[in-house]
Structure formats: structure tokens, C-alpha cells
Structure 1
């Protein structure tokens, strides 16, 4: 192997190691007893302790929290995907005044940090009575993930052959029929990429869930795990066990759609 190639591989392996360190620390800590974690925070566990996983699964409202997270993920991702498909198709394939400006504004919204919108949204939701409601929180999440979705789908829709649209219009197909019968089937990799990325965002979010879902019965998984430290006397291994279990569904989702995920990330990069 050439020296420059070996150097590149070494740098990549080091970067992978750095990326995996937090996950390895989380798994190792979840398998330690509270006493062992006190004097051995960074080392390997001397004996595997599974009591924390039992406490998380069967001595806390874990499955209720997971159900709330699933409701938010499914609702917000579904709403965002439908809106994004319609918006991206209009921007990519329909001609109207302000199309470029609309796309620019939508893309610019990707740079707006969600934290700056919390105060006005909270005031508005308080007046509308949408605090601690699924529908209100779903709308917030859908609004946060839609700009990226529109950008990715617009880029992908523009790469589809123009001849397909012209042939469909000659056969009398309208825009909605073209979108449903031609564009969406051909855009499956990009759509599945959006599902994975957006589901990860909503599933892992903490700040929106804590502020806008204040009812304990509607607490999400990440918000519920965050109370372990306060409710269970700062038991870090217990919290880490909850994080390991909470990560499993998203890891499974990514592995299941990994092939489409990689294809979707490359969508529109080569024309």
C-alpha cells in the first residue's frame, strides 16, 4: 500500500474510532454496577450487570414513552413527506412566478436554529391550547424537517428525465397523477432517505419534547430517559441502559434501509 493511501486509511480509521467512542462508553457504562462505575468510569466492566436493563424495561413507563415517540415520529414524518413531495414537485417541474424565490427561502430555513423559534411558538401554542398535544408537536416537528426534505426532493426530481413527463402529459396525465404514478416510484431511494433522517431527528429530539409536551402521560422516550438522573439519584448506568435500548429502533431502521439511504444521499449529485 502506498504511503499516502495508508495515511488516508489511518486518518479514516481514527475518525471512525472517535465517532464510536461515545457509543462504546454508553454500552460499557450500561453494563456496570453503580459501585463499579464510581471507581471505574472509563474502563471495561469487570462483570456484566443486566439489572439496569430490567429496571428500564419493567420498572419505568418505558413502553409508554416509546409509544409517544412513535406517534410523533410517524405523524411528523408522514406529514412532512406529503407536503415536501407536493412542494418539491411544484418547484422542480412546474413553471410559476416566484419559483426560484420560494426554493431559496425554503433552503434558507435550514439554517435557522430551532431554539430561536421556541419562545414565539410557545406563546402561540399557549393561546391556541396546543401545549401537551400530539397534533401541535407533530406540526412543529414537521415544520422543522420540511425545508431539508424539500431541498433534497427538489434536487432529485430535477434529475428525472424530462421525456417521462412529456410522454405522460401527451397521454393526458395531470400533475398529481404524474407525481403519484411516475415521480414517487422513481424517487424511492430519496424518500426512504428522508424517512430515516427525519425519523432520527424526531426520535432523538429532547428540547421540543420537554417544552411542548409537559404532560407526564405524553412524555417522549428521550425526555423520559432524561429524568432518570433526577428521579433515580443520578444513576448514570441506568440512564445509559435506557439510551442503549432507545437507540436500538433507529439502528434497526438504518440497517434495514441502508442501501436506499446511501443511494438517496447521492441523489442529484450526478446528473
Structure 2
């Protein structure tokens, strides 16, 4: 073996060692980040399974005898289920309305030729940078005049307006990755734009649609500002608004409060787990053409 071959092999070994070290560092960073992210959730669940006496003795340890009394008290002795139903109504209504509007708008911007479509997309995208708090006063004045305060439809319209700009941006990016040959073939067969959208584009866009459903549902479910201001009746109180009241009422009963937090987090956690595969594909869709 010549000296040049020995040097080449040495360089390859060092390159492999550097690659292995880099991979190990990346995995270590990811493990640490995962641990940091999961610790609060683990603490919340473990605390919810403790009694008040056990929590007072040991706040950080594991429960000696896990109990479910805190969950029963949250579900039976408080209007938690009614709050969850209100949040569910807002999530379903606003996400469905946003998906319909976003699909139509994104298809028009991505596949229909008209003057100013890129400007329209830019304006829609720029709305994502506008914080909702700056629109509270004018919206409240308008809703007072229209008698939409403390109504489901009023809150649904606001939430749909807040989540639609991101939805239009993501769907436009995704629709542009659909091969043009599919559109041309469908139009040769006599299909109109609405039929093409329904029969061709939407089935191919399932990952992007699932991503929007998960992300937008999480946003509406966790929102507090709009719910407090525009849903002032106790009967229309959402889960997050109810939790703020619940936490203030049971401030000294930490296990009970943590049980409420676990129940509030469960629906969105189940939604994410159920559609995790499509969610990840949807986030990556459109990034690579």
C-alpha cells in the first residue's frame, strides 16, 4: 500500500469520526431539548395524581398511591365539560370556515391568472404579523353595534379571520407543487375550477389540510384574549377562560388545578397524536418542489 493510499484512508477515517461525533452531538442536544420540554408535562401529571396532603409533604416526588379524585372533582364539581363544549364549538366552526375560505383563495392565487394575485398573497401574508390585540377595540365597537358580543358566530368569525392568512399562505405554497399536467388534463375533459379543486387538488392536499386543522385548532383552543373579551356570558365561557377562573378559585389546591390542566391538554394531545404522520408531512410539503 502506497503512502498516498494510507493518507487517503486516514482522511476517510477522520471524516467518519467527525461525522459520528457531529451526529452524537445533535442527538444529545435533541435529547436534552426533549427532556426540558417533557419535564413540565410530567410534573403536571404526577401532581394531578397526588392528594393535597401528599403534595404538601413532597412537591417534586412521585405519588406513593396515585389517586383519581382530583379528576373526578374537576369533571363533576365544576362546569369543565361545558367549557370544553364551548371551546369545541369554536374550534370546529372557525377551523371549518377558515379551511373553506383558504382553499378557495389559495386555489385562485396559485392556479388562476389574474392581475394582482401576488400582491393579494403578499397582503394576506402580511396580516400574520399583525397582533390580534391591536384589533380588539375596533372589533369590540363593531360587534357592540352589530349585537354580536357573547355569540358563537361572532367569535367564530374573529378566529377564522385570525387563522386564515397562515392557511392561505400554506395552501398556496402546496397547490403550486401540484403538477400542471393534472390541471390541463382535467380542463381538457371539461372540468371547471371548482370540480378540479374538489376532485383533484384537495385529495392531494390532505397532509397540508391536516396540518392546518391541527395548528389552527391548537390556536383557537388555547386562546384566552378573544374568549374573555367577546364571550362575556358565563354560559359561553371557553375552556381557557374557565381555567383562569378555576385556577383563581382553587389557587391553594395545586393538585386539583393540575388535574384541570391535564384534562384541558388531553384533546389537543390526542388530535396531534392521531394525525402526527400527516402533520409532519404537511409541514414539509411545499418546502421542496
TM-score calculated relative to the size of structure 1: 0.95
2:239 alignment partner, one of 208, 217, 221: 221
Alpha-carbon distance between aligned partners in 2 of 1:259 and 1:233, rounded to the nearest angstrom: 38
Indicate conservation of the 8 Å contact 2:250/2:257, yes or no: no
Indicate conservation of the 8 Å contact 2:74/2:259, yes or no: yes
Report the alpha carbon displacement of residue 171 of structure 1 after superposing the two structures with TM: 1.4
Aligned to 2:164: 146
Report the alpha carbon displacement of residue 250 of structure 1 after superposing the two structures with TM: 1.2
Aligned to 2:64: 46
Report the alpha carbon displacement of residue 244 of structure 1 after superposing the two structures with TM: 0.5
Aligned to 1:240: 258
SS in 2 for 1:160: coil
Aligned to 2:36: 18
Aligned to 2:23: 5
Aligned to 2:91: 73
Aligned to 2:46: 28
Indicate conservation of the 8 Å contact 1:62/1:221, yes or no: yes
Aligned to 2:143: 125
Report the alpha carbon displacement of residue 39 of structure 1 after superposing the two structures with TM: 4.7
Q: Which runs of 4+ in 1 moved over 2 A?
A: 1-4, 32-47, 229-236
Greater Rg by CA = 2
Indicate conservation of the 8 Å contact 2:251/2:257, yes or no: no
What does residue range 204-219 of structure 1 map to in structure 2 within 5 Å? 204-219=222-237
What does residue range 73-92 of structure 1 map to in structure 2 within 5 Å? 73-92=91-110
Alpha-carbon distance between aligned partners in 2 of 1:167 and 1:147, rounded to the nearest angstrom: 30
Aligned length: 271
Deviates more, 1:76-85 or 1:185-194: 185-194
Alpha-carbon distance between aligned partners in 2 of 1:234 and 1:207, rounded to the nearest angstrom: 25
Indicate conservation of the 8 Å contact 1:228/1:235, yes or no: no
2:273 alignment partner, one of 246, 255, 265: 255
Alpha-carbon distance between aligned partners in 1 of 2:61 and 2:142, rounded to the nearest angstrom: 48
Please tell me whether residue 197 in structure 1 is matched to residue 215 in structure 2: yes
Unpaired runs of 5+ residues, structure 2, are 1-16
Instruction: Give the CA RMSD over aligned residues.
Output: 1.5
